[in-house]
Amino acid sequence: MGNLFDSLRQGTEKLLGMPVLASKHGQDVDNLIVYVHWLMIALFVGWFGYFVYVLFRFHRTRNPKADYLGVRNHASNYIEIVVALVEAVILLFVAVPLWAKTVDQSPDPKQSTVVQVVAQQFAWNVRYPGKDGEFGTQDMNFVTSENPFGVDPKDGNGKDDIVDMNRIHVVVDKPVIIRLSSKDVIHSFKVIAMRVTQDAIPGMRVQLHFIPTKTGVYQINCAQLCGEGHASMAVGYLEVDTQEQFDKWMTAQTPVPAGGGSFE
Ligand SMILES: [Cu+2]
């Protein structure tokens, strides 16, 4: 029974053409998508069948005189209850536990790749804590076009911070914590392969996290229509490296002193 269920689910996934999956919690997201589609297929078939039945059953040749009493059985009520029950099961036993398991339980920053991402029209600014593992303190009063993160130029912790644009390096099988914000309008950070989406909101820093399971380069999309160049935010990439590749890349970076660098 379990095997039949699994192969049915995998068959549906194939039929839907699900995109590449490269994160740990992603399979649960895909399962939810499949269950919702099953329900929708059942509703589609049910409604369509009912429509065809009505065309036939209530055709005027069969009903020359209108019947003012209408339907007297309760079949539709029972069907409605069944549909509501299925929806409740999906919500209470799949969607809510998934949220509790993957969104509410934040990984330990010490065991994770922590990255700050600030979206702007139309790019992604990326910042790593550097060798010391500590981000320099930030204040919005320090924000300029050269210092999008508002890093305090006097804070020693910020001296070795690495700033980059449009490419986020992370390590495979290690939790990733992204602290997300925006410089101008509402953007949305979406990496389909990781099955994550989070709005980037000016004045707020929102955390999202996931565990990448496959090395490779995955596109970042902006999932909120944020202006004329919205589509060009797809120049952003998430690169999932091995620890070795990541360390090599990190040592090749030159820290950008706060306020002194430019990425143009
Ligand atoms: Cu955007």
Instruction: Say how many Å lie between the CA of residue 165 and the centre of ligand 1.
Output: 14
For residue 118, give the nearest of 157, 161, 149, 151 by alpha carbon: 149
pLDDT in tens, the chain (264 residues): 678 989 999 999 999 999 999 999 999 999 999 999 999 999 999 999 999 999 998 888 988 888 888 778 898 899 999 999 999 999 999 999 999 988 888 899 999 999 999 999 999 999 998 877 788 888 878 888 778 788 888 887 887 888 889 999 999 999 999 999 998 999 999 999 999 999 999 988 999 999 999 999 999 999 999 999 999 999 999 999 999 999 999 888 887 665 554 444
Question: Which protein residues have their CB within 5 A of the ion that is ligand 1?
Answer: 187, 222, 226, 233
Query: At 124, is the secondary structure helix, strand, or coil?
Result: strand
Instruction: Say how many Å lie between the CA of residue 121 and the centre of ligand 1.
Output: 6
Model pLDDT, residue 254: 80
Instruction: Say how many Å lie between the CA of residue 84 and the centre of ligand 1.
Output: 37
Residue 9 contacts by C-beta under 8 Å, 6 or more apart in sequence? 31, 34
Tens digit of pLDDT for each residue in 151-197?
Answer: 888 887 887 888 889 999 999 999 999 999 998 999 999 999 999 99
Q: Which helix (H) or strand (E) holds 197?
A: strand 196-200
Q: Which pTM was predicted?
A: 0.84
Dmax over CA atoms of the chain, in Å, equals: 88
CB 163 within 8 A of CB 125: yes
Model pLDDT, residue 160: 81
Q: Which amino acid is at 183?
A: K
